[in-house]
Amino acid sequence: MITLFVLIVRYSGLCYYSGAELYYFSGRNLLGKIILLIDDDQDVGRLVEVILSPMGFTVYQAFTGLDGLRRSYELHPDLVILDVMMPDLNGFDVCIRLREMSSVPILMLTAYSNEKEMLRGFSVGVDDFVKKPFNKNELEARVRALLRRSTSRESSSSHPYIHAYEDPILAIDLSLQTVKIKGKVVELTPREYSLLAYLVRQQGKIVSKRELAREVWGDQTPSGISNTSLYVFYLRKKIQDGEHGHRYIQTQWGRGYWFEPREEK
C-alpha cells in the first residue's frame, strides 16, 4: 500500500470533506471516488464521513429518499450507501428507482439481518448489507469490496480496442459517452447507455440476458434478468432501430442479443 498525506478541504451542499490518505488496491487509485449516503440520521453521516474520508473518498449525504435520487442523478456516485427506514421513501423503493437509471453499487444499512429483508433487498438490486451499528473495519472492507468488484466488471467488459462506432446514421463515442442519430444527440438513461456500450464492445458475440444483467448492472436476480428485454425495447426505440434500413440490435431467440454493424454498400 502506498500512502501519501495531503490536505483537502471541500464543501459542497451536503458534503464536507477534509483530510485524505491515498489508498491503492490492485493498482487502482481510490482518491476522488464519490460516495453518496442516503440516510436521515446526521450522526450516521458524520460517522461514515469519519471512516471513509481518510480513504480518499468524497462523502455526500442526502437526508430523504427523494433527495437521494436527485443527488444521485446530479453526482453520478461510485457507490451509494442506503438506509432502509426514511421519512418519505424507504430504502427498497429508493433502490428500485436507482436501478432504473444506474448500475451503481448499493450498500444497504439495516437494523435487522433477517433473511426475508435481505432477500427483498437482493431482489430489488441491493449489492450488500451492513447491520447497524457497524464498525470501522467492516464498513471499510465492504466498501472496498464493492468498488473493486464494480471496477473489475467495468474493465473486463470493455473491449480495449473498441472506442467508437460510426456509420452514416448512427454514431457512438464510448470515450465521450455520446450517441447520435443523423448528427442529433440521443438522450439515453445510464442503464440504456451501458447496455448499448456493452453490446458494441462485444460486437460479433451473442450476449445472454443473464450476462447483460450481471455485467451491465450487476443484478442476476430473476427480475433483473427478465428486465433486460424491457431495456432492450427502450433502447431500440431511442436509436430508431430498424427505421433506417438496418437493425443494430439483433436477437437470437433463447440465446440473447448482439450488435450488428451496418455494412457499407
Given this model, what pLDDT does residue 134 score?
86
Domain co-membership, 115 together with 142: yes
Contacts of residue 256, defined as CB under 8 A and 6 or more positions apart, other chains included, come to: 206, 207, 208, 209, 211, 212
Domain co-membership, 92 together with 174: no
Domain membership of residue 247 (yes or no) is yes
Domains held by the chain: number? 2
Domain co-membership, 179 together with 140: no
Domain membership of residue 71 (yes or no) is yes
Given this model, what pLDDT does residue 158 score?
46
Domain co-membership, 203 together with 114: no
Domain co-membership, 177 together with 143: no
| Entry pTM | 0.53
Each of the 265 residues of the chain gets a pLDDT tens digit; together they read: 333 333 233 333 333 333 333 333 333 445 678 999 999 999 999 999 999 989 888 999 999 999 999 898 888 888 999 999 888 889 999 988 887 777 788 999 888 767 788 888 888 888 888 888 888 998 998 898 888 776 655 554 444 456 789 999 999 988 788 899 999 999 988 788 889 988 998 887 888 988 888 877 776 777 778 888 888 999 999 999 888 889 999 998 888 999 999 886 5
Domain membership of residue 112 (yes or no) is yes
Going by C-alpha positions, the residue among 236, 235, 233, 209 that lies closest to residue 223 is 209
Residue 144 phi, psi dihedral angles, 5° rounding: -60, -45
Domain co-membership, 25 together with 95: yes
Given this model, what pLDDT does residue 102 score?
73
Domain co-membership, 184 together with 220: yes
Domain co-membership, 85 together with 124: yes
Domain boundary (136, 156, 176) is at 156
Cβ burial of 241 (10 Å; 0-12, 13-18, 19+) is: middle
Domain membership of residue 264 (yes or no) is no
Given this model, what pLDDT does residue 153 score?
54
Domain membership of residue 265 (yes or no) is no
Q: Which long-range contacts (CB under 8 A, 24 or more apart) does 40-46 make?
A: 40/64, 40/83, 40/86, 40/87, 41/83, 44/83, 44/109, 44/132
Domain co-membership, 245 together with 149: no
Question: What's the per-residue H, E or C state across 196-215?
Answer: HHHHHHCCCCCECHHHHHHH
Cell of 81: 450507501
Residue 237 maps to which CATH number?
1.10.10.10
Domain boundary (156, 188, 216) is at 156
Domain co-membership, 146 together with 189: no
Cell of 190: 445510464
Domain co-membership, 33 together with 122: yes
Domain membership of residue 234 (yes or no) is yes
Question: What's the per-residue H, E or C state across 35-66?
Answer: EEEECCCHHHHHHHHHHHHHHCCEEEEECCHH
Domain membership of residue 215 (yes or no) is yes
Domain boundary (95, 124, 156) is at 156
- Which letter does DSSP use for residue 186 in this model? P
Contacts of residue 145, defined as CB under 8 A and 6 or more positions apart, other chains included, come to: 128
Given this model, what pLDDT does residue 242 score?
87
Quote the domain boundaries for residue 86.
5-156
β-strand pairing of 178-181 with 184-185? antiparallel
Domain co-membership, 146 together with 178: no
Given this model, what pLDDT does residue 167 score?
92
Residue 47 maps to which CATH number?
3.40.50.2300
Place of cell 423503493: 93
Given this model, what pLDDT does residue 232 score?
92
Three-point CA angle 70, 72, 77, nearest 5°: 160
